[in-house]
A and B are shown apart, each in its own frame.
Chain A
């Protein structure tokens, strides 16, 4: 039994598997009461009343122990009891984070929705509609703190590092979803199979932001014409010609200064979250820009999150490796590194599909052993054993009998093998496109009916495995018919598994289709076109398509070199 603490607004929240009902002095887990002594219960209520906020030791002592004379050790003991009850760990906290020498912070995301006895009964429909987000409370909390800092005018540069399939993109999306109307711009790097485009992820982000914010193209014209020139669809032919003259002799350093100025002025009006994904494939120009922005003096309400596969960066001596350490050493950025799931986190994940299975420690441990806790691996294997309907075996037996794939690529091979012929053709062609792709493009390439392709893409989106709809910075859809792969690994493995001769053919077809679309006014990056023709072994066409991108280089002769 716990003592009832009188409070004008008694807390009634749910977090992960727990329900906290202050008025009834009740803590429960999965609907079952959990014994908790009065002091740790009051401590939990005090912390949970201010989620995400640091509560100093003094504040907690005052709130829970009142004016009684007690030493700090009672607080430490109560925190320890609370963690034991919640199954939390100070090293990998999910609920209560220690802020060294200062105090504690409640880091779980509480839900204020009414508590119901069946709150954990998630229907399969619900599961397919929302991406599952488990754990990562500390990481999310650090992102949120960095955003608060950026809102206050202190720019935040944040590396988000981890292995493939560890959940970097999911964390970013979960974080963005919680920002509620904030201005976000997002771009990603693509595997540099040929000559890439300098600043590709930044140009993608700025282009996306221009679509939803008419003030930005105006500002680009004023302070960042070299960047405007890289987005030709934002200006008329006459304006571009004038820009060409104006920018004659301009070197790449000016692009850095202009972007710095643009970001300072733009963020005077509103804070901006800039996301660059897959920076392990990033070009040197983008890295230079990150370095420049991190070191630039002046107020900037900017948070720049860049994700990358840390082992690849280190193993391949990518230029990002030294930049990463330099900026960290000089405290110009911070780093969030995502570890594989622990057994506890896997249990939380399994609970979203089956609470009873999550309580089966042997199953959870076996799933952990099979996957080493890599989330993409976990979700794939769990779906494999739970969704099969072709035998009468139990889920546990299926897991025990499953041949363990050697790596993520092997898992994806397994998923590819389950595709129908038409789906495989569609996805293979989509994998040839770099980044987002449009149904219209695929329709031209595959010579298939637009409506049936759109329907097939929607099916693949609903399946929550292969595709997702492309989104603009504010979360609205760019176009009902623009899609991208849910994960870069999926595209990468499909691309690798496409025979070389077919790849060359598809690059040629896609290059031709994009050229036609461009002639009808669809914005198509010249470097994309050039890349397709280059890989289709048509270098002459490729060279001519690099024209617009190479213009500044031709005049200024020092466009940043690529990786």
Chain B
């Protein structure tokens, strides 16, 4: 086995999640903000929250690809 040279929880993959006052177990609603980019996404369901995170992860993958192409 080889030790992982990358941080397990990098800031680029860290978010602040704020739930609105009317959020409930069956109806999550609030705002998600990435710590590094500051990109914010409003969501009104767990599906939208999940889609926001997926979008951002796709952006990270794009950044990595751009970095690799620049090498």
Partner of A340, one of B5, B9, B68: B9
Within 8 A of A (CB), among B28-45: 33, 35-36, 38
B residues 8-24 near A (Cβ < 8 Å) are 8-12, 14, 16, 18
Given A310-B35, A311-B16, CB of A340 within 8 Å of CB of B7:
yes
Residues of A within 8 A of B11 (CB): 161-162, 310, 337-339
Contact yes or no, A89 B6, CB < 8 A: yes
Closest to B40 in A: A314
Given contacts A90-B68, A90-B71, A98-B70, contact A314 B35 (CB under 8 A): yes
- Distance between B8 CB and nearest chain A CB, rounded to angstroms: 6
Asked, given contacts A100-B70, A314-B33, whether A91 binds B64 with beta carbons under 8 Å apart, the answer is yes
Give chain B residues whose Cβ lies under 8 Å from the Cβ of A162: 11
Residues in B with CB closer than 8 Å to A100 are: 67, 70-71
Count: A-B pairs, CB below 8 Å: 83
Q: Convert A321-337 into 0s and 1s, putting 1 for each residue whose CB lies closer than 8 angstroms to a CB of B.
A: 10011000000000101
Distance between Cα atoms of A324 and B36 in the complex (Å): 10
Cβ distance A360 to chain B, nearest Cβ, rounded Å: 11
Cross-chain contact A344 with B3 (CB below 8 angstroms): yes
- Contacting residue for A92 out of B7, B18, B35, B38, CB 8 A: B7
Q: Is A368 on the interface with B (CB-CB < 8 A)?
A: yes
Chain B residue contacts of A364, Cβ below 8 A: 3
Contact of A342 among B6, B38, B70, B71 (CB under 8 A): B6
Complex-state Cα separation, A342 to B38, whole angstroms: 24
Given the complex of chains A and B, what is the CA–CA distance between A477 and B12 in angstroms? 39
Q: Measured between C-beta atoms, what is the minimum distance from A198 to chain B in Å?
A: 26
| B39 CB to nearest A CB, Å | 10
Q: How far is the CA of A91 from the CA of B5 in the complex (A)?
A: 9
Interface of B is mostly: loop
Query: B33-61, CB under 8 A of A: which get 1 and which 0?
Result: 10110100000000000000000000000
**Closest Cβ neighbor of A340 among chain B residues:** B7
B13: nearest chain-A partner, CB-CB? A339
Q: Complex: how many Å from CA A92 to CA B12?
A: 13
Cα–Cα, bound, A342→B67 (Å)? 20
CB distance from B60 to the nearest CB of A (A): 11
Minimum CB–CB distance for B64 against chain A, Å: 7
Question: Which of the residues B5, B35, B36, B64 comes within 8 Å of A344, measured between beta carbons?
Answer: B5
Chain A residues near B3: list those with CB within 8 A: 87, 342-344, 347, 361, 364-365
CA distance A337 to B14 in the complex (A): 12
Smallest CB–CB gap between B1 and chain A, Å?
6
CB < 8 Å: which of A315, A321, A344 contacts B4?
A344
From B2, B4, B6, B9, contact of A372 by CB (8 A): B9
Of the candidates A79, A338, A342, which one forms a contact with B5 in the assembled complex, judged by CB atoms under 8 Å apart? A342
Q: Is residue A341 contacting chain B, with contact meaning CB distance below 8 A?
A: yes
Is there contact, CB below 8 Å, between A89 and B5?
Answer: yes
Minimal beta-carbon separation of A53 from chain B (angstroms): 18
Q: Kindly list chain B residues whose C-beta atoms are within 8 Å of the C-beta of A325.
A: 38
A148-186 toward B: CB 8 Å interface, digit per residue (1/0)? 000000000000011000000000000000000000000
- Tell yes or no: A225 within 8 A of B by CB: no
Evaluate contact between B70 and A341: CB separation under 8 angstroms. no
Rounded to whole angstroms, the CA-CA distance of A321 and B71 in the bound complex is: 32
State in angstroms the CA–CA spacing of A275 and B9 once bound together: 27
A487: shortest Cβ distance to chain B, in Å?
20
Q: A311-B14, A311-B16 are in contact. Are A98 and B71 (CB under 8 A)?
A: yes
Q: Does A101 contact B (CB under 8 A)?
A: yes
With a cutoff of 8 Å between Cβ atoms, the chain B residues found around residue A40 in the complex are none
Closest to B66 in A: A100
| Distance, CA A88 to CA B11, complexed state (A) | 20
- Asked if A76 is at the interface of the complex by the 8 Å CB criterion, the answer is yes
Is A282 interfacial (CB-CB < 8 Å)? no
- The complex places the Cα of A321 from the Cα of B9 at a distance, in Å, of 21
A residues lining the B interface (CB < 8 Å): 76, 79, 87-92, 94, 98, 100-101, 161-162, 310-311, 314-315, 321, 324-325, 335, 337-344, 347, 361, 364-365, 368, 372-373
Residues of B within 8 A of A (CB): 1-12, 14, 16, 18, 33, 35-36, 38, 64, 67-68, 70-71
A-B contact pairs, 23 of them (CB 8 A): A79-B71, A89-B5, A90-B71, A91-B6, A91-B67, A94-B5, A100-B70, A101-B70, A314-B35, A321-B38, A324-B38, A337-B12, A340-B8, A340-B9, A342-B3, A343-B3, A343-B8, A344-B3, A364-B3, A368-B8, A372-B8, A373-B8, A373-B9
